[in-house]
Structure formats: structure tokens, C-alpha cells
Amino acid sequence: MLTLKGKHIYLRALEPEDLEFVHAIENDESIWELSNTLTPYSRFLIKEYLKNAKQDIYEAKQLRLVVSDKKDNAIGLIDIFDFDFKNKRAGIGIIIKDPEQRGKGYGAEAINLLVDYCFKKLSLHQLYCNISETNSASLRLFERAGFEKIGLKKDWNYTSEGYSNEYLLQLINK
């Protein structure tokens, strides 16, 4: 079982017991624009997803981990997606579920743990993320972790307020 431990949080593999937590995040309409979600997910679909989460990253091309505090409370999810072994790159994304838990350093610690895992264990050369131009908190979070803005995708996402721009950020393993 994969476990990555930090000072205040740790990252762990998904478990069947995470059904309600994942269901709550996936069905939180306030974050659908972040994840490009258009419809709600049923508990059945998430249960099937959790059953199949045992595939390794080389097969699934993605990995979702739970961000847990030291009391073993799930507080967020962090993802590796678009895993490209040939080119040694992947995308990453994170969500801390409860707004009261945001801004406490958990996201930064989780990103640092995941970056370390990607570069040292998976031998990746680069990581990237896509962040809305208006999501200043996430932009600061990733820039503090060493990611650099390398491009702005104009009118990239359609939202309830019209089209929005999205930054592409990149971190290259030196």
C-alpha cells in the first residue's frame, strides 16, 4: 500500500471506506468548474471506481490519493493524471474539500509530497497543471511549489459566467 507521510498530513491509496467522501467531492457543484464535471456521480459509479482503483499507474495512466490529516481524517484528494511514461510527464491536481481546511498548508505539503514521489519514485521529468486565471489561491499554491506559468489558454473553459482563461503551469525536474 502506498503511503507518503509529511509533518501534518499523509497521502494514501483510496479505500472502499472513502465512498462517501469521494461522493461528496464529486457531487459538490461549487467545484465542478475546477474538474470540468457536468453531471452528478452516483454512489454505484463511485463504488465501481473504487473497486478499479487498484490498477497501477502504468496501466490506468492516473493515480488518485487521499490527503489525510494525522487523525486519519480524509481532507482532500490529489491526482496524477495523463501519466505519460514515454515522455516522463504527468498532470497533477488537488482539492481540499472543506473550505475551513484550506489555507493551512495542507495543500502545499500534499503537493510537495506528490512532486517528490513523481520525481524520485516514478522518475518523471516534468509535471504540469491547469488552473483558471481567476483561481488566485491555486495559482499561488502551485507557484510556491516551484511551478511556472508557461502559457495562457484563452477562452479555454466555458463557465456559468462565459468563457474563462486557463494557465498552464509546469515544473521540470532539474
> How would you classify the pairing of strands 89-96 and 126-132?
parallel
Q: How distant, in Å, are the alpha carbons of 2, 3, 15, 63 from that of 82?
A: 19, 21, 22, 9
Q: How many other β-carbons are positioned within 10 Å of the β-carbon of residue 45?
A: 12
Give me 155's grid cell. Answer: 477562452
pLDDT at site 2: 54
Q: What architecture (CATH level 2) is domain 3-124?
A: 3-Layer(aba) Sandwich (3.40)
pLDDT at site 1: 45
Strands across the sheet containing 63-69: 3-5, 9-13, 63-69, 74-84, 89-96, 126-132, 162-172, 148-159
Domain ranges of the chain: 3-124
DSSP classification of residue 18? G
Q: How many other β-carbons are positioned within 10 Å of the β-carbon of residue 165?
A: 13
Q: 96-112 burial by CB neighbour count: b if 16+ within 10 A, else e?
A: bbeeebbeeebbbbbbe
- Mind listing the pLDDT tens digit of every residue in the chain (174 residues)? 455 999 999 999 999 899 898 888 888 777 766 666 667 778 888 888 787 777 778 887 899 999 999 999 999 999 999 999 999 999 999 999 998 989 999 999 999 999 999 999 999 999 999 999 999 999 999 999 999 999 999 999 888 889 999 999 999 998
